[in-house]
């Protein structure tokens, strides 16, 4: 007579093993398999969720050591990003910069009052946003990209700028030359594709490689900001760092999903070369599934 375990034990076993499977998927991200790349963004969360399995089976040396090695390999990209070189802290003569994904799916007029800064990148904009902000005296220089299926992109500037639409493999973006108080600065505000299926995952990585190529050929100061749909440990962000782009002086806050607060993941970024950049602080955006980011720049 075969004795079967109770159904609740089977369910608990399945729930305990699922994060472990996720970690295995995360370490396979370099193979180009899109679920592995998606899992890699959540490697830290998967490690925490696998602790019940570790506590249950980790006393067995083979399983415990295997779990430790699995978590270490999965977390290595994030650890490497955390210890990577960063921009120096800004001087007192700094300018305010903000990036905000307004979330085109729902009306977000309540988010607009918190939009502020000398230089502002807006992601997932709607025609209504342009109507409300195009005559705002804070930003006499503006460039708006017509909304696509997932909203438009805009760059608002207090300082004179010449801007054009960025041709980045269908990622909506703005490419601008801004006359900052200390000289000319190239600013790229962009929204790469969300890695939610095989096609968009591959396109996201190619878009980030294109950005890295721009960084490699840009001779002057450069600021890249927006929703890059990639965490700091992702290969695309690592490519930007290899091209000379530096993350903020301090830590980078979690920006998505906003309802997870500090337990979310960082996919909204600001990276610089030839500039100083201070710590990034999160900004609550009413109705958006993202937190905005606010920071200061100086030469």
CATH assignment of the domain containing 224: 3.60.10.10
Range of the domain at 178: 95-298
The DSSP bridge partners found for residue 277 are 297
Nearest to 267 by CA among 292, 241, 239: 292
Domain stop point among 25, 53, 82: 82
Domain stop point among 82, 105, 133: 82
How far apart are the C-alpha atoms of 119 and 157, rounded to whole Å?
5
**In-domain check, residue 90:** no
165, 283: one domain: yes
How far apart are the C-alpha atoms of 298 and 95, rounded to whole Å?
6
| Tens-level pLDDT at each residue, the chain (299 residues) | 455 556 766 676 667 788 888 888 998 887 777 888 889 999 999 998 888 887 777 677 787 788 888 889 999 999 999 999 999 998 877 899 999 999 876 665 667 778 899 999 999 998 888 888 989 999 999 999 987 777 889 999 999 999 999 988 888 899 999 999 999 999 999 999 998 888 888 899 999 999 999 999 888 999 999 999 999 999 999 999 999 999 998 889 999 999 999 999 999 999 999 999 999 999 999 888 999 999 999 99
**In-domain check, residue 89:** no
240, 212: one domain: yes
**Stated length of the chain:** 299
Count other C-beta atoms under 10 Å from residue 32's C-beta. 13
52, 105: one domain: no
264 in Cβ contact with 231 (< 8 Å): no
**In-domain check, residue 224:** yes
**In-domain check, residue 104:** yes
């Amino acid at each position: 007579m075969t004795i079967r375990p109770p159904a609740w034990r089977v369910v608990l076993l399945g729930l305990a093993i699922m994060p472990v499977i996720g970690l295995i998927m995360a370490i396979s991200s370099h193979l180009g398999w899109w679920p592995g790349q998606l899992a890699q963004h959540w490697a830290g969360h998967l490690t925490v969720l696998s602790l019940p399995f570790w506590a249950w089976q980790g006393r067995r040396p083979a399983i415990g050591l295997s779990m430790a090695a699995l978590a270490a390999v999965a977390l290595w990209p994030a650890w490497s990003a955390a210890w990577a070189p960063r921009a120096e802290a800004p001087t007192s003569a700094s300018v305010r910069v903000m990036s905000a994904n307004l979330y085109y799916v729902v009306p977000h007029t309540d988010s607009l009052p918190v939009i502020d800064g000398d230089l502002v990148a807006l992601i997932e904009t709607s025609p209504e946003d342009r109507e409300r902000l195009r005559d705002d005296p804070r930003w006499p220089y503006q460039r708006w990209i017509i909304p696509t299926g997932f909203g438009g992109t805009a760059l608002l500037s207090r300082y004179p700028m010449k801007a054009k639409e960025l041709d980045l493999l269908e990622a909506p973006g703005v490419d601008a030359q801004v006359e900052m108080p200390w000289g000319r600065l190239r600013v790229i505000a962009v929204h790469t594709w969300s890695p939610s299926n095989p096609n968009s995952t591959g396109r996201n990585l190619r878009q980030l490689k294109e950005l890295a190529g721009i960084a490699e050929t840009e001779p002057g100061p450069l600021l890249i900001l927006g929703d890059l749909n990639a965490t700091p440990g992702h290969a695309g962000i690592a490519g930007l760092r290899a091209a000379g782009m530096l993350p903020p002086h301090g830590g980078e806050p979690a920006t998505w999903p906003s309802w997870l607060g500090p337990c979310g993941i960082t996919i909204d970024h600001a990276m610089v070369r030839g500039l100083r950049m201070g710590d990034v602080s999160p900004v609550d955006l009413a109705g958006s599934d993202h937190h905005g980011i606010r920071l200061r720049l100086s030469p």
